[in-house]
Structure formats: C-alpha cells, structure tokens
Structure 1
Amino acid sequence: MAASTTRATRGATLNAASQRFALPQHDTDGDWLDSRGAVDGAPAPPRTTVTVEHARTIITRNQSPDVPFDRSINAYRGCEHGCIYCFARPSHAYHDLSPGLDFETRLFAKPDAAALLREELRKPGYACQPIAMGTNTDPYQPIEREWRITRAVIEVLAQCRHPLVITTKSDRVVRDIDLLAPMAAEGLVAVAISVTSLDPRIAMTVEPRAPTPERRLRAVQQLSAAGIPTYVNMAPVIPAITDGEVEAIVARAAAAGARGISYIPVRLPWEVAPLFRAWLDEHFPDRAGKVMAIVQSLRGGRDNDPRFGMRMKGQGPWADLLRTRFRIARGKAGFDDARRKLDLRCDLFRPPAGAQGELF
C-alpha cells in the first residue's frame, strides 16, 4: 500500500502527552467542535490556535559541534507544517503539551521578537556572529503571513548589517526578497530550502501543510535570480520512502540555481520515534518494518543515536551508500563535493541606536 492520495490535514496521528516529565494525559476540553467529535459524530479537523508569548530574550545560544552556528532566533514555538519527522516536536513537552497534534495546532508567537533583538544587539559585550533562523520551527510557517514576526526580525538585522542564515521549507521567504537581496549584496545572508521529496503524494503525507515541492524549487530559482545565496537541504532522507529520489532532487536543485545541496538521514529523538512509528503504520503499512529496520541500522540498533558527530550522518552500510550516492549525484550536477562553509561578513555590524538616538 502506497501513500494515501487524500491530503492529510495534519501530520501526527497521536496526541499523547510526554512521559519524560511525568505530565498527565490530556482529555478533550469539552468544545462541541473538538477534534474528537463534531455535531454529526464525525471527527472535525483540529483547529490551529496561537498564544502570545512574551519572552525575556530572543537569541538562543548553543555549543553543539554538529551545527555551524552558535546562536539562533525562533519567532514561533510549534509548527503548523506538521512534518512528522520534526526533531523539534519534543520541545512542546516543556509546555505540558503533546509533541503530537498539539505541536502542530497549539502554536506560540513572539511578537516582541524584534524589540528584544534590538536590546540584545545593543548590549556592550555583544560579539557579532551569524544568527540562524529556522533551526527549531519554521520561520515562514503559515501564521507568519499575519504575524510577520520573521520579517520584523530581518528588518532589524538588515538595519544593523548583521549576518543571517535562514532555513525553511516555505516559498513564503520570497516575500522578503526586498530585504534579503540588499543584505546578500553585502555578504550578509544565505537561505537554505528543504526539499525532501518531489512526489506530491509523499510530500503531502510527510509534510501535510508545507508548500508543494515545486513551489519550493521555484523559490530557490527566485532567490538565486535575486542574487541571494540559496542552498537545498534534503533533510531528512527517509529510508524506503524518499531515498530513491536523491539523484532527482540533486539535479532539480542544480537546475533551480542552488549553490549547493546537503542531506541528513532521518532522526527520531525522544517522542518523535513513537509518533513516527504510528505514522508509518497509518500511511505506509506495507513498508513500516523495513523503514524502521534501516533507521535502526543507521542508529546503532536504536531508533535514535544522539551522539555528537553521529546524529547528523548515521553509521553503517546504508549510511555509507547514501553518502556515496550524494557525492556522485553532486558531481554530476556540477556541485562541489564538499560542503562549502558560509563566509558571511561580521565586520559590517553596527549596533542599533539607543532610545535617544532613535529620536533624531
């Protein structure tokens, strides 16, 4: 049985609370249009709600040797795209919410992000290094259309001439070409767009509320034409579901003008593993066992291997074969074999003006 031809309304098939923090299971809130039952007895689609979060700071720091940045900004918590594999899902457990459907439907927005960023950038001890957006949840998920928090953050960074790296799977990023193109001209920005499958049926099952693959590839083309360094990520590669498309995606990325392409084998940390297993049983029952067997071969016999140096690339024969296929495909497409280091400029940064300076 192949992926369903009916578009999924959400990604996760479960909404169990996390057990890591001894949080209780959640029951329906009694809403007469609750997702567990509508007036006619048929399940109603879960609705999206957005809660305003007033954060104290907006720049998150990390010391991971697996990622090429040490700071990031997340304008939102949760993500409506509903990608079943999303490694950020477990973060919702910290809010006493499920990493399942809650992660996709009960979102948090940080409208103070731009103001907080100004405060942090003007601190005397701030040392400029590229800021990453899209490292946890997508900065261009559907609610960005109304909230425009990502755009407000980019406006601050553009004014300060601060380097920025954006990762997204949405073509909504082209809306901000007017800000990104001038930044690119000064070596201040790069964009990475995730394309995991070219098959519309698979894409709408794996990433139910993300833009179609063709729209993302058009975004790569538009950004590249505007002079913005744009890359494609095949992240993640899902064994026995999307790995057969490696060569085709690499070729399409090159044709769209991408400067490079990278990949990451699927990761299943914490609550993502049971959610992914349930999703496989629902949408790919014919190959669920095969998928998980390969995943475990990549992860040392477990659903997930969290070790630095291993979690982004996996191990074993399947990982070696995938690495070889990407190397050959990149060579045929004209990409450099090795990943290029993003050399964004930090020397142009100027802190925002203080309150008095902004009066003049």
Structure 2
Amino acid sequence: RAYVEEKIYKKESVSRFFYRGAFFRYERPQAGREREFHQIGVEVLGYAHPFIDAEIIMLGDLILKSLGLQNYSLELGSVGCFKDREKFREFIRKELAQIQEELCADCQRRVVKNPLRIFDCKVEKCKKIASKLPSLLDALCERCGKHFETVSEILNSMGVKHHQHPHLVRGIDYYTSITFEFQHKSLGAQNTLLAGGRYDQLVEEMGGPSIPACGFALGMERILLALEEEGKLPEVKDGIEVFVCYISEKELPYAFSLLTALRKEGISGEMDYTRKSIKSQLKRADKRKAKLSLILGEEEVKKGEVTVRDMRSGEQFAVKKDEVVNFLRERLKK
C-alpha cells in the first residue's frame, strides 16, 4: 500500500525492500502460530524474469543455511495465472462435489467459496483426499509452465535442492505463478519457516499500475523453534563482561571514554552514574555478573593506566590504557 500511495513506481522502475517487525493474527493462536509474531520480509517489484524468482528463493536458502539449519526442504510450486487458476478451480469443485461430505466442515465451505484452499488444510482426512487430486502444475498455461520450469532449472544449476510440489497454493489468494515454502521436518503441521512467491497483480489490485512483484517472509519464532529442535540455539550470555568503576567525578570522563571504546570493540560493559563508593560499584558489578571490573582513580589517570580486577579470582592488574582492550580479550577467554 505504501508503494502505491507514495507512487514509488514513478521514481524507479525496480524497487527492492526488506522489512521486519511485530505482527498480529486475527485467528485463534496455535502451536507455532502465536497471536503476536515477528516477521522479516523481502520484496522485489518491477522484474518479471524467472531469474529474480530464483534469486529470491536462493536468498531464503542462504539465510537458513547461515543460521546453521539443515533439517529443512524446499517445496516449489505454481498456482499459474488467474485464468489457469479459475479453470482448475472449477475442475476441482466438480471433483470435490462428489465427495463433499467426507471433507471437514471448513473444506465443505471451501468447495463453494474457493476449492483450492483444500490443499492448505491441515486435517488429515482432507490432506489424503487432496493428495489424490490432479496436479496444479499440469493445468498451467504454456507461459506459466515455462516460467515454472525455468525457475526449477536455475535452482538445479545452482545446486539448490527442491521438490516440485503439485498442490502448493499458499494461504493467500493474491499469489500468481511461482509459490515456494521452506519446510522444517520436525515442527509438525506448522512447519513452514520461510515462504513466498510471485504476486504480479497485487499492485494493480491496490490501485497502482500493473507491476510484477515477488518476495518472501520468514517467521522468527518458527526459526527459533527449528534451531531449538536441531540443538543450534545460540548460547545466551548471562551478565556483562566488564564493569567500569571510578573513584570521583574527576575520573568520570576518563571512565566514560574507556567504556565507549570497549563497546566499540565488541566488549559488553556498564558503569554507574549515582556517585557511589568503589565498594558499592564493585557490589553492583558482582550483581551484574561482570567477569572483570576496571577501577579508575586519580593515580590511574595520571599514569594513563587502568586497574583491572578479576571478579572471580580477586586478582588485580595495572594495565596501560592503550593495551587494555587486548588484555581484556585475553582475560575474558579464561
């Protein structure tokens, strides 16, 4: 909507976006489908070439691999153009009309409203019936069929393993042509980690011109569940690495500059601004589970040194300010 309202298509012929944030579901929450969830998405508007579909899919694969995930598969499908879908919809409606009573209550309504949604049903008896229905891929027109096969060939040439799914419709009706899902093998019914496809009519439906588009979204909570299943959740560090203490207000600027320098070097740190005694500051450091404390007084400032206290052993070391980062790194490894 923002793309249409801001008329971004007039400013550039091709647009690439990514977003992240919290979202909310209207329907009843389930395992893996919380009321509030967090999503990261990627969108490309302006390209109709199958290579951009492949690029988007490969980006999704790269993200999952970079997180260390392995136990997932890529399902590749196509819902064709609107004409393909309408023909297939009528054909499926006739097929299902003969066995409508065997379907769940939701799918019985879907037979009338949108029979393709049966392919997205999670009820076991409906899944069995749907698996025996004709393939959407066999109903594609020449143009949509060629697009699908080209994307599949590109993925094969780049070593991206995938399965050509005969009934991958996704849960949103605006998709056209390519659809895809990265599914994890250990998450049960809600097993989709990352999914998307092409939606060439969406911009026009929102009031803009006809502009091809494709993209995907990944669910951060699902990703965390998958990482947990594979035993690859990163270790959450408890506490901080360094607490910076200072004796008086005179040393505060020196202490503050040191804390800033440590953070720039990737060392987590903290300090107190309530003018407490060194003893109280060290108690605060201990409460924050700091591994090391830096003590700065008048003498340290004059000498350009820092007193480093190991909070575990109680040992103290006088270290030159320009050597403190390297000293801390070595000490934190122990």
TM-score range, shorter chain: under 0.3
Higher relative contact order (CA 8 A, sep 6+): 1
- TM-score, structure 1 as length reference: 0.19
Which has more strand, going by share of residues? Answer: 2
Which has more helix, going by share of residues? Answer: 2
- TM-score, structure 2 as length reference: 0.20
**Rg (Cα) greater in structure:** 2
